Amino acid sequence: MRVVVVTESFLPTLNGVTTSVCRTVECLAAAGHRVSVVCPRPAPDEHAGVPVHAVPSVPVRAFPTGIPTGAVRDVLETVRPDVVHVASPFVLGARALRETARLGIPSVAVYQTDMPSYLAQHAPGLVGTGAAGAAWRWVRRVHGLADLTLAPSRHTTAELAAHGVTATARWGRGVDARLFHPGRRDRVAAARRELAPGGEVLVGYVGRLAPEKELDRLEEVAGLPGTRLVVVGDGPSRSRTATRLAEAVAAAPGRPNRPPVFLGARSGEALADAYGLLDVFVHTGTRETFGQTLQEAHASGLPVVAPARGGPLDLVDHGRTGLLVDPDRPGDLAARMAELVADPALRERMGRAGRAAVEGRTWSRVTDELLGHYATVVAGAGRRAA
Protein backbone atom coordinates (compact mmCIF):
# COMPACT_ATOMS: atom_id res chain seq x y z
CA MET A 1 0.00 0.00 0.00
CA ARG A 2 1.23 3.52 -0.83
CA VAL A 3 0.80 5.81 2.17
CA VAL A 4 1.57 9.50 2.55
CA VAL A 5 1.77 10.67 6.16
CA VAL A 6 1.23 14.41 6.61
CA THR A 7 2.12 15.61 10.09
CA GLU A 8 2.13 18.97 11.87
CA SER A 9 5.18 17.86 13.91
CA PHE A 10 8.24 15.77 13.10
CA LEU A 11 11.88 15.34 13.99
CA PRO A 12 13.87 17.04 15.40
CA THR A 13 10.89 18.35 17.41
CA LEU A 14 10.07 15.86 20.18
CA ASN A 15 6.49 15.46 21.41
CA GLY A 16 3.67 12.95 21.37
CA VAL A 17 2.71 13.60 17.75
CA THR A 18 6.31 13.13 16.55
CA THR A 19 6.72 9.91 18.54
CA SER A 20 3.49 8.44 17.23
CA VAL A 21 4.30 9.34 13.62
CA CYS A 22 7.84 7.96 13.82
CA ARG A 23 6.76 4.62 15.28
CA THR A 24 3.90 4.31 12.78
CA VAL A 25 6.14 5.11 9.81
CA GLU A 26 8.76 2.62 11.01
CA CYS A 27 6.21 -0.18 11.38
CA LEU A 28 4.55 0.53 8.04
CA ALA A 29 7.91 0.53 6.24
CA ALA A 30 9.03 -2.65 8.02
CA ALA A 31 5.85 -4.36 6.80
CA GLY A 32 6.72 -3.51 3.19
CA HIS A 33 4.41 -0.55 2.60
CA ARG A 34 5.65 2.39 0.53
CA VAL A 35 5.55 5.40 2.84
CA SER A 36 6.36 9.10 2.42
CA VAL A 37 6.25 11.85 5.05
CA VAL A 38 5.30 15.51 4.60
CA CYS A 39 6.18 17.78 7.53
CA PRO A 40 7.42 21.26 8.48
CA ARG A 41 11.05 22.27 8.20
CA PRO A 42 13.56 21.66 9.68
CA ALA A 43 13.44 17.90 9.20
CA PRO A 44 15.72 15.05 8.14
CA ASP A 45 15.77 13.94 4.50
CA GLU A 46 14.61 10.48 5.50
CA HIS A 47 13.57 8.43 8.50
CA ALA A 48 13.89 4.64 8.72
CA GLY A 49 14.46 4.59 4.97
CA VAL A 50 11.28 6.61 4.34
CA PRO A 51 11.62 9.83 2.27
CA VAL A 52 10.69 13.03 4.09
CA HIS A 53 9.34 16.05 2.19
CA ALA A 54 9.80 19.16 4.35
CA VAL A 55 7.78 22.30 3.60
CA PRO A 56 8.54 25.87 4.73
CA SER A 57 7.55 26.72 8.29
CA VAL A 58 7.24 29.60 10.74
CA PRO A 59 7.81 29.35 14.51
CA VAL A 60 4.71 29.47 16.70
CA ARG A 61 5.40 29.19 20.46
CA ALA A 62 8.78 27.66 19.58
CA PHE A 63 7.16 25.00 17.34
CA PRO A 64 7.80 24.99 13.57
CA THR A 65 4.38 25.32 11.95
CA GLY A 66 4.17 24.21 8.33
CA ILE A 67 3.04 26.73 5.74
CA PRO A 68 0.28 25.12 3.62
CA THR A 69 1.85 25.71 0.21
CA GLY A 70 1.31 23.86 -3.05
CA ALA A 71 4.14 21.50 -2.07
CA VAL A 72 1.56 19.30 -0.35
CA ARG A 73 -0.44 18.98 -3.55
CA ASP A 74 2.73 18.27 -5.54
CA VAL A 75 3.67 15.34 -3.29
CA LEU A 76 0.19 13.84 -3.47
CA GLU A 77 0.00 14.18 -7.24
CA THR A 78 3.47 12.65 -7.65
CA VAL A 79 3.06 9.73 -5.24
CA ARG A 80 -0.66 9.09 -5.89
CA PRO A 81 -1.05 7.24 -2.59
CA ASP A 82 -3.73 4.69 -1.80
CA VAL A 83 -4.42 6.53 1.45
CA VAL A 84 -3.32 9.72 3.17
CA HIS A 85 -2.72 9.67 6.93
CA VAL A 86 -2.93 13.15 8.47
CA ALA A 87 -1.54 13.44 12.00
CA SER A 88 -3.09 16.07 14.27
CA PRO A 89 -4.33 18.26 11.38
CA PHE A 90 -4.66 21.97 11.97
CA VAL A 91 -2.74 24.01 9.37
CA LEU A 92 -0.56 21.83 7.13
CA GLY A 93 -2.93 18.92 7.67
CA ALA A 94 -5.93 21.03 6.74
CA ARG A 95 -4.35 21.75 3.35
CA ALA A 96 -3.60 18.06 2.89
CA LEU A 97 -7.21 17.08 3.58
CA ARG A 98 -8.51 19.67 1.14
CA GLU A 99 -6.21 18.20 -1.51
CA THR A 100 -7.28 14.62 -0.78
CA ALA A 101 -10.91 15.65 -1.16
CA ARG A 102 -10.11 17.35 -4.47
CA LEU A 103 -8.07 14.42 -5.77
CA GLY A 104 -10.42 11.72 -4.49
CA ILE A 105 -7.77 10.06 -2.31
CA PRO A 106 -9.03 8.21 0.79
CA SER A 107 -7.93 9.90 4.01
CA VAL A 108 -7.60 9.20 7.72
CA ALA A 109 -7.18 12.06 10.20
CA VAL A 110 -5.69 11.36 13.63
CA TYR A 111 -7.01 13.66 16.36
CA GLN A 112 -4.27 14.04 18.94
CA THR A 113 -3.91 17.63 20.17
CA ASP A 114 -6.76 19.26 22.08
CA MET A 115 -6.15 22.71 20.62
CA PRO A 116 -9.53 24.17 21.70
CA SER A 117 -8.80 23.44 25.35
CA TYR A 118 -5.28 24.84 25.09
CA LEU A 119 -6.62 28.09 23.63
CA ALA A 120 -9.25 28.33 26.34
CA GLN A 121 -6.58 27.81 28.98
CA HIS A 122 -4.07 30.32 27.60
CA ALA A 123 -6.48 33.20 26.94
CA PRO A 124 -8.41 34.97 29.71
CA GLY A 125 -12.17 34.83 30.23
CA LEU A 126 -14.41 35.44 27.25
CA VAL A 127 -11.42 35.71 24.91
CA GLY A 128 -10.45 32.13 25.70
CA THR A 129 -14.04 30.93 25.40
CA GLY A 130 -14.36 32.58 22.01
CA ALA A 131 -11.01 31.21 20.83
CA ALA A 132 -12.00 27.70 21.90
CA GLY A 133 -15.32 28.00 20.06
CA ALA A 134 -13.57 29.15 16.89
CA ALA A 135 -11.07 26.30 17.22
CA TRP A 136 -13.87 23.73 17.50
CA ARG A 137 -15.50 25.14 14.37
CA TRP A 138 -12.16 24.76 12.58
CA VAL A 139 -11.67 21.22 13.92
CA ARG A 140 -15.16 20.27 12.74
CA ARG A 141 -14.49 21.73 9.30
CA VAL A 142 -11.05 20.12 8.91
CA HIS A 143 -12.06 16.68 10.16
CA GLY A 144 -15.19 16.84 8.05
CA LEU A 145 -12.89 16.61 5.03
CA ALA A 146 -11.47 13.27 6.21
CA ASP A 147 -13.12 9.94 5.48
CA LEU A 148 -12.43 8.83 9.04
CA THR A 149 -11.13 10.48 12.20
CA LEU A 150 -9.20 8.30 14.63
CA ALA A 151 -9.46 9.30 18.29
CA PRO A 152 -7.14 7.84 20.96
CA SER A 153 -9.59 7.50 23.87
CA ARG A 154 -13.26 7.17 24.77
CA HIS A 155 -13.29 10.65 26.26
CA THR A 156 -11.91 12.20 23.08
CA THR A 157 -14.33 10.25 20.88
CA ALA A 158 -17.26 11.55 22.93
CA GLU A 159 -15.91 15.10 22.87
CA LEU A 160 -15.52 15.03 19.09
CA ALA A 161 -19.07 13.73 18.70
CA ALA A 162 -20.37 16.49 20.96
CA HIS A 163 -18.81 19.04 18.60
CA GLY A 164 -20.12 17.50 15.41
CA VAL A 165 -17.28 15.14 14.37
CA THR A 166 -19.06 11.82 14.10
CA ALA A 167 -17.19 9.69 11.54
CA THR A 168 -14.79 8.40 14.18
CA ALA A 169 -13.13 5.23 15.44
CA ARG A 170 -10.80 4.58 18.36
CA TRP A 171 -7.12 4.03 17.68
CA GLY A 172 -4.70 3.98 20.62
CA ARG A 173 -0.93 4.06 20.76
CA GLY A 174 1.70 1.40 21.17
CA VAL A 175 4.56 1.29 23.65
CA ASP A 176 8.01 -0.25 23.39
CA ALA A 177 7.92 -2.66 26.33
CA ARG A 178 11.46 -3.81 25.59
CA LEU A 179 12.89 -0.31 25.88
CA PHE A 180 10.71 0.71 28.84
CA HIS A 181 11.22 -2.12 31.31
CA PRO A 182 11.34 -2.61 35.11
CA GLY A 183 14.86 -3.99 34.72
CA ARG A 184 16.07 -0.43 34.18
CA ARG A 185 15.97 0.06 37.95
CA ASP A 186 18.99 -2.22 38.38
CA ARG A 187 20.87 -0.42 35.61
CA VAL A 188 20.44 2.99 37.29
CA ALA A 189 20.73 1.79 40.90
CA ALA A 190 23.74 4.01 41.64
CA ALA A 191 21.98 7.09 40.28
CA ARG A 192 18.91 6.24 42.37
CA ARG A 193 21.07 6.18 45.51
CA GLU A 194 22.51 9.58 44.63
CA LEU A 195 19.04 11.07 44.20
CA ALA A 196 17.63 9.44 47.32
CA PRO A 197 20.53 9.07 49.79
CA GLY A 198 18.06 8.99 52.67
CA GLY A 199 15.85 6.35 51.08
CA GLU A 200 13.37 8.93 49.76
CA VAL A 201 10.54 7.80 47.50
CA LEU A 202 11.26 9.31 44.07
CA VAL A 203 8.12 10.82 42.57
CA GLY A 204 8.54 11.68 38.91
CA TYR A 205 6.92 13.61 36.08
CA VAL A 206 7.92 13.11 32.44
CA GLY A 207 6.75 15.43 29.68
CA ARG A 208 6.82 18.89 28.20
CA LEU A 209 7.13 21.74 30.68
CA ALA A 210 4.41 24.04 29.41
CA PRO A 211 1.31 25.78 30.80
CA GLU A 212 -1.11 23.23 29.35
CA LYS A 213 0.52 20.49 31.45
CA GLU A 214 -0.72 22.19 34.67
CA LEU A 215 2.54 21.56 36.51
CA ASP A 216 1.47 23.74 39.42
CA ARG A 217 -0.39 20.66 40.65
CA LEU A 218 2.98 19.16 41.59
CA GLU A 219 3.19 21.71 44.40
CA GLU A 220 0.66 19.55 46.28
CA VAL A 221 3.09 16.66 46.49
CA ALA A 222 6.37 18.56 46.73
CA GLY A 223 6.26 18.64 50.49
CA LEU A 224 5.17 15.08 51.19
CA PRO A 225 7.58 13.79 53.86
CA GLY A 226 10.13 11.26 52.66
CA THR A 227 9.81 12.08 48.96
CA ARG A 228 11.80 13.85 46.28
CA LEU A 229 10.46 15.19 43.01
CA VAL A 230 12.22 14.26 39.75
CA VAL A 231 11.15 16.20 36.65
CA VAL A 232 12.11 14.98 33.17
CA GLY A 233 11.48 17.27 30.21
CA ASP A 234 11.91 20.82 29.03
CA GLY A 235 9.82 23.68 27.73
CA PRO A 236 8.79 27.30 28.28
CA SER A 237 7.63 26.67 31.87
CA ARG A 238 10.88 25.15 33.14
CA SER A 239 12.16 28.19 35.02
CA ARG A 240 8.80 29.02 36.59
CA THR A 241 8.15 25.39 37.53
CA ALA A 242 11.59 25.01 39.12
CA THR A 243 11.06 28.12 41.22
CA ARG A 244 7.55 27.21 42.32
CA LEU A 245 8.44 23.64 43.28
CA ALA A 246 11.57 24.68 45.18
CA GLU A 247 9.48 27.20 47.12
CA ALA A 248 6.83 24.57 47.84
CA VAL A 249 9.46 22.20 49.24
CA ALA A 250 11.06 24.90 51.38
CA ALA A 251 7.67 26.01 52.76
CA ALA A 252 6.63 22.50 53.85
CA PRO A 253 6.34 22.11 57.66
CA GLY A 254 8.90 20.07 59.53
CA ARG A 255 12.16 19.05 57.96
CA PRO A 256 12.05 20.05 54.25
CA ASN A 257 12.58 17.48 51.53
CA ARG A 258 15.58 17.62 49.28
CA PRO A 259 15.08 20.10 46.42
CA PRO A 260 13.43 18.89 43.20
CA VAL A 261 15.69 17.54 40.45
CA PHE A 262 15.29 18.64 36.83
CA LEU A 263 16.91 16.24 34.37
CA GLY A 264 15.98 18.03 31.14
CA ALA A 265 14.63 16.51 27.94
CA ARG A 266 15.54 12.87 27.28
CA SER A 267 14.77 10.34 24.58
CA GLY A 268 15.55 6.72 23.75
CA GLU A 269 17.75 4.86 26.22
CA ALA A 270 18.24 7.96 28.37
CA LEU A 271 14.48 8.41 28.71
CA ALA A 272 13.98 4.75 29.63
CA ASP A 273 16.70 5.09 32.27
CA ALA A 274 14.92 8.15 33.68
CA TYR A 275 11.79 6.10 34.29
CA GLY A 276 14.01 3.54 36.01
CA LEU A 277 14.98 6.17 38.58
CA LEU A 278 11.41 6.59 39.80
CA ASP A 279 9.22 4.88 42.38
CA VAL A 280 5.93 6.57 41.42
CA PHE A 281 4.87 8.34 38.24
CA VAL A 282 2.62 11.39 38.48
CA HIS A 283 0.75 13.05 35.63
CA THR A 284 -0.81 16.49 36.03
CA GLY A 285 -2.58 17.56 32.83
CA THR A 286 -6.37 17.38 32.54
CA ARG A 287 -6.54 18.00 28.78
CA GLU A 288 -4.73 14.96 27.45
CA THR A 289 -6.38 13.14 24.56
CA PHE A 290 -4.29 10.08 25.43
CA GLY A 291 -1.16 10.13 27.63
CA GLN A 292 1.76 8.25 26.11
CA THR A 293 4.00 8.83 29.12
CA LEU A 294 1.50 6.93 31.28
CA GLN A 295 1.97 3.86 29.08
CA GLU A 296 5.74 4.23 29.24
CA ALA A 297 5.55 4.45 33.04
CA HIS A 298 3.38 1.32 33.18
CA ALA A 299 5.82 -0.54 30.93
CA SER A 300 8.60 0.56 33.31
CA GLY A 301 6.77 -1.09 36.20
CA LEU A 302 5.61 2.10 37.90
CA PRO A 303 2.28 2.86 39.58
CA VAL A 304 0.66 5.88 37.93
CA VAL A 305 -1.24 8.72 39.61
CA ALA A 306 -3.21 10.90 37.18
CA PRO A 307 -6.33 13.09 36.94
CA ALA A 308 -9.61 11.27 36.39
CA ARG A 309 -10.19 13.19 33.18
CA GLY A 310 -9.40 12.70 29.50
CA GLY A 311 -7.01 10.05 28.22
CA PRO A 312 -5.90 8.72 31.64
CA LEU A 313 -9.40 7.31 32.19
CA ASP A 314 -8.58 4.67 29.55
CA LEU A 315 -5.03 4.02 30.74
CA VAL A 316 -5.19 3.86 34.55
CA ASP A 317 -7.22 1.09 36.17
CA HIS A 318 -7.96 2.79 39.48
CA GLY A 319 -6.84 0.71 42.42
CA ARG A 320 -5.07 -1.86 40.23
CA THR A 321 -2.47 -0.13 38.01
CA GLY A 322 -2.52 3.22 39.75
CA LEU A 323 -4.77 5.86 41.25
CA LEU A 324 -7.04 8.43 39.62
CA VAL A 325 -7.54 11.74 41.41
CA ASP A 326 -10.26 14.38 41.31
CA PRO A 327 -8.54 17.40 39.72
CA ASP A 328 -11.19 19.74 41.13
CA ARG A 329 -10.68 18.65 44.74
CA PRO A 330 -7.74 20.42 46.42
CA GLY A 331 -5.51 17.99 48.26
CA ASP A 332 -6.77 14.86 46.51
CA LEU A 333 -3.52 14.42 44.57
CA ALA A 334 -1.45 14.70 47.75
CA ALA A 335 -3.73 12.29 49.60
CA ARG A 336 -3.55 9.62 46.88
CA MET A 337 0.19 10.05 46.53
CA ALA A 338 0.61 9.68 50.30
CA GLU A 339 -1.06 6.26 50.08
CA LEU A 340 1.58 5.04 47.68
CA VAL A 341 4.50 6.70 49.47
CA ALA A 342 3.54 4.90 52.68
CA ASP A 343 3.05 1.46 51.12
CA PRO A 344 5.97 -0.08 49.16
CA ALA A 345 4.03 -3.33 48.65
CA LEU A 346 1.15 -1.41 47.05
CA ARG A 347 3.58 0.36 44.73
CA GLU A 348 5.11 -2.94 43.68
CA ARG A 349 1.75 -4.62 43.14
CA MET A 350 0.41 -1.74 41.02
CA GLY A 351 3.66 -1.56 39.08
CA ARG A 352 3.43 -5.25 38.14
CA ALA A 353 -0.21 -4.86 37.10
CA GLY A 354 0.60 -1.83 34.98
CA ARG A 355 3.40 -3.69 33.23
CA ALA A 356 1.11 -6.64 32.49
CA ALA A 357 -1.56 -4.30 31.11
CA VAL A 358 0.69 -2.86 28.37
CA GLU A 359 3.00 -5.74 27.45
CA GLY A 360 0.87 -6.72 24.45
CA ARG A 361 0.27 -3.15 23.32
CA THR A 362 3.10 -3.13 20.79
CA TRP A 363 3.48 -0.62 17.99
CA SER A 364 3.31 -3.41 15.41
CA ARG A 365 -0.06 -4.55 16.77
CA VAL A 366 -1.35 -0.98 16.88
CA THR A 367 -0.15 -0.46 13.30
CA ASP A 368 -2.06 -3.57 12.23
CA GLU A 369 -5.18 -1.91 13.65
CA LEU A 370 -4.33 1.22 11.69
CA LEU A 371 -4.05 -0.78 8.46
CA GLY A 372 -7.56 -2.06 9.15
CA HIS A 373 -8.79 1.54 9.29
CA TYR A 374 -6.93 2.30 6.06
CA ALA A 375 -8.67 -0.67 4.40
CA THR A 376 -12.04 0.61 5.59
CA VAL A 377 -11.66 4.06 4.02
CA VAL A 378 -10.14 2.63 0.81
CA ALA A 379 -13.06 0.21 0.46
CA GLY A 380 -15.50 3.04 1.12
CA ALA A 381 -13.89 5.14 -1.59
CA GLY A 382 -14.17 2.19 -3.98
CA ARG A 383 -17.87 1.80 -3.27
CA ARG A 384 -18.48 5.51 -3.81
CA ALA A 385 -16.58 5.42 -7.12
CA ALA A 386 -18.58 2.41 -8.28
Q: Check whether residue 167 and residue 194 sit in a common domain.
A: no
Is residue 91 domain-resident?
A: yes
Spatial separation of the C-alpha atoms in residues 180 and 287, rounded to whole Å:
24
Q: Check whether residue 284 and residue 345 sit in a common domain.
A: yes
Is residue 273 domain-resident?
A: yes
Spatial separation of the C-alpha atoms in residues 285 and 310, rounded to whole Å:
9
Is residue 136 domain-resident?
A: yes
Q: Check whether residue 250 and residue 296 sit in a common domain.
A: yes
List the CATH number of the domain containing 192.
Answer: 3.40.50.2000
Closest CA to 375 of 147, 75, 167, 173: 147
Q: Check whether residue 150 and residue 192 sit in a common domain.
A: no
pLDDT one digit per residue (tens) for the chain, 386 residues: 999 999 999 999 988 899 999 999 999 999 999 999 999 999 999 999 999 999 999 998 778 999 999 999 999 999 999 999 999 999 999 999 999 999 999 999 999 988 888 777 766 676 677 888 999 999 999 999 999 999 999 999 999 999 999 999 999 999 999 999 999 999 999 999 999 999 999 999 999 999 989 999 999 999 999 999 999 999 999 999 999 999 999 999 888 899 999 999 999 999 999 999 999 999 999 999 999 999 999 999 999 999 999 999 999 999 999 999 999 999 999 999 999 999 999 999 999 999 999 999 999 999 999 999 999 999 998 666 65
Q: Check whether residue 303 and residue 373 sit in a common domain.
A: no
**By residue range, what is the domain housing residue 103?**
2-174+362-379
Radius of gyration of the chain (CA): 21
Q: Check whether residue 217 and residue 249 sit in a common domain.
A: yes
Q: Check whether residue 250 and residue 353 sit in a common domain.
A: yes
Q: Check whether residue 110 and residue 214 sit in a common domain.
A: no
Q: Give the predicted TM-score (pTM) of the model.
A: 0.93
Spatial separation of the C-alpha atoms in residues 294 and 281, rounded to whole Å:
8
Q: Check whether residue 160 and residue 268 sit in a common domain.
A: no
The number of domains in the chain is 2
Spatial separation of the C-alpha atoms in residues 356 and 268, rounded to whole Å:
22
Is residue 385 domain-resident?
A: no
Q: Check whether residue 135 and residue 234 sit in a common domain.
A: no
Q: Check whether residue 265 and residue 335 sit in a common domain.
A: yes
Under 8 Å CB-to-CB from 194, ≥6 apart: which residues? none
Where would I find the H helices in 188-230?
Answer: 189-195, 219-222
Q: Check whether residue 58 and residue 153 sit in a common domain.
A: yes
